[in-house]
Every structure is written in C-alpha cells, then in structure tokens.
C-alpha cells in the first residue's frame, strides 16, 4: 500500500492532470473562435508557446541544455505534435467542437495498442476491450454523422498522433524535466510547420491578424499550450501513458459542456451522435472501476 506522502503526491498529480485536461477542452473552443486556417493557427500557437517557455527559462534562470541526441529526438517528436494539432483544428473547422472531441477519445485505443509495442510490455486485455468499446462509439457517430466523415477522419488521426507523442513523453520525462521537453518539442513543431509553409509558399502571406484572433492566440499559445503542456508532461512521472490517455478522454466532457454554453453545439447533434458519445464516456468512467475489481480478484 502506498504511504500517505506517496498517495498525496498521486492525488496532487491527478488534480493537475484534470485541470490540464479542462484547459485542453477550452482549447477546442478557441479553435472554433479563431478565424484563420488550422495550419496558420497552429503556427501562431507554437510561436507564442516557444516564446513563453523561453521567457520562463530566462526569468527563472533555468538551464534547458540537453544532449544533442535528446535534442534531435524531441525536435522530431515535435513533428507528431504539430500534426496532432493541425488535424485537431482542421476537424473542428470542418465539423463541430463536439464531434472532434469525441473522436479524440480514440486516443485510448491507440495507446492500448502502441504503448505495449513501443515499451515492449504485455498487452492488457482490459485496455484493448476499453479501446474497442470507444471505437464502437465512434463507429456509431460515423454512421449517423455522415456529413462529418472528413472531420472524423482528421479527428482520429489527431488522436493517433497524440497517442504516439504521449508514449514517447512518458519515457522521456523520467530523465528530462517537463518544461525542457515541452520547449524542444514545441520548437520542433514550429520548425516542421515553418518548413512546410516555406515549401508551399504559405509563410508570410497572412501575418496580419484580426485583434480578436490575436487575443485568442495569446491565450491559446501561453496558457493552453505552454502552461498546460508542461503540466501534462510532468504528471507522466506518476502515471502510465494509458492512464493519462484515459483521463484525457474527459476532454470531450469539458469541451462539449463549454461548446454548449458558448455555441449551443448540442442542438446540432443527432441521437446517433449521443448514443456513440454515451458508449465512449461510459467506457472512460467505468474503466477504473473494472481495473480495481480485477486487481482485487488477483490479490485474493
């Protein structure tokens, strides 16, 4: 049994993770409010986040020097993060906040498959069952929300990329501080997206922004990216990538509630959407209970 200090630390990190997930839920609202394209939005997001983290290191006089190998690995991982965010915001632009956030719940299934393969662990049957139930919910949404097919595909790709970089970070955070990981990975996202824009001739043609967009982007880049990303990575010292993915699936709950309050999104959804969402969210909430029951039986 964990000591009181250990349990307090776990509870504190759990609270931090839930708060981080709530902020991520608000990210989807900002994505819907900002008028520029998904690629432009993510480019501005990472620029602001990198500057915010750099200033954090300078004001705190904290070193962010790491080995060349780790630097290259984190910059490469930044490519996955950039793809995740671009797919995420593209999905929102093509559908609604609710549809995108429910698709993001498939991160649980992707993590249940990828984590054992990458970390060479035994595949958990319970995690696979939970993932399959979540996919069942997504298929229900696919069936009834045909007009959002492209957005759903982008949402699923976003979840896959999020799963991959979460697993990588759960390993990296054991030896590198979370703010340093965040800085180099977001810097990597900036480099990869900027290269793409340079090749396609898209850089420099949209540097003038509406005042409202600029305000939303500052919040998105500093609070919802730099701060939330550091917090999200830091808790991975306590939790597995799968547990982080599972709790991250509460993002649809927070995001959908916020979307209803701000946009009235719920009125746009069919009964099929809500049936699929119910399957997904029930799986998220029941999984920890099932896990405890199995652990108790094994301990007898």
Q: pLDDT tens digits, the chain, 300 residues: what are they?
A: 555 555 665 677 888 888 888 888 888 889 889 988 889 899 999 999 999 999 989 988 888 899 999 999 999 999 999 999 999 999 999 988 878 887 887 887 788 788 888 888 777 788 788 878 877 887 777 777 678 889 989 999 999 999 999 899 988 988 999 899 999 999 999 999 999 888 877 666 566 778 889 999 999 999 888 888 888 887 877 777 777 777 776 777 777 778 777 777 555 667 777 788 788 778 877 777 787 777 777 776
Domain assignment present for residue 3? The answer is no
CA distances for 189 relative to 52, 77, 162, 194, angstroms: 15, 8, 13, 8
Domain assignment present for residue 9? The answer is no
Question: CA-to-CA distance for 175 and 24, rounded, in angstroms?
Answer: 25
Domain assignment present for residue 62? The answer is yes
How many C-beta neighbours within 10 Å does residue 53 have? 24
Domain assignment present for residue 8? The answer is no
Domain assignment present for residue 294? The answer is yes
Question: CA-to-CA distance for 245 and 249, rounded, in angstroms?
Answer: 6
Domain assignment present for residue 2? The answer is no
Q: Which token pair is 195?
A: 């290269």
Domain assignment present for residue 5? The answer is no
Domain assignment present for residue 234? The answer is yes
Number of domains in the chain: 1
In degrees and rounded to multiples of 5, residue 62 shows phi and psi of -105, 135
Structural domain for 245, as ranges = 16-299
Q: Which token pair is 247?
A: 């709790």
Question: CA-to-CA distance for 105 and 137, rounded, in angstroms?
Answer: 10
Query: What pTM, to 2 d.p., does this model score?
Result: 0.79
What number of helices (H) and strands (E) belong to the chain? 13, 0
Give the position of tokens 């995690």.
127
């Amino acid at each position: 049994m964990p000591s009181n200090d250990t349990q307090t630390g776990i509870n504190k990190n759990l609270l931090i993770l839930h708060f981080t997930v709530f902020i991520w839920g608000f990210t989807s609202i900002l994505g819907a409010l900002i008028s520029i394209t998904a690629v432009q939005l993510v480019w501005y997001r990472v620029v602001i986040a990198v500057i915010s983290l750099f200033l954090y290191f300078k004001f705190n006089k904290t070193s962010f020097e790491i080995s060349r190998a780790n630097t290259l690995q984190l910059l490469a991982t930044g490519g996955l993060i950039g793809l995740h965010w671009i797919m995420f915001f593209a999905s929102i632009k093509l559908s609604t906040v609710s549809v995108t956030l429910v698709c993001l719940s498939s991160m649980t299934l992707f993590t249940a498959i990828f984590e054992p393969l990458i970390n060479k662990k035994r595949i958990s049957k319970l995690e696979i069952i939970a993932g399959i139930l979540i996919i069942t919910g997504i298929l229900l949404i696919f069936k009834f929300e045909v007009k959002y097919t492209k957005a759903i595909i982008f949402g699923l790709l976003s979840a896959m990329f999020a799963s991959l970089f979460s697993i990588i970070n759960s390993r990296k955070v054991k030896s590198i501080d979370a703010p340093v990981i965040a800085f180099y990975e977001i810097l990597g996202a900036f480099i990869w997206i900027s290269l793409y824009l340079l090749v396609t001739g898209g850089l420099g043609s949209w540097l003038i922004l509406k005042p409202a967009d600029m305000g939303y982007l500052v919040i998105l880049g500093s609070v919802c990216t730099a701060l939330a990303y550091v917090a999200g990575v830091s808790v991975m010292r306590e939790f597995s990538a799968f547990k982080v993915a599972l709790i991250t699936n509460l993002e649809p709950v927070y995001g959908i509630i916020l979307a209803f309050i701000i946009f009235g999104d719920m009125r746009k959804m069919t009964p099929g959407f809500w049936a699929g969402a119910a399957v997904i969210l029930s799986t998220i909430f029941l999984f920890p209970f099932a896990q405890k029951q199995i652990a108790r039986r094994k301990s007898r």
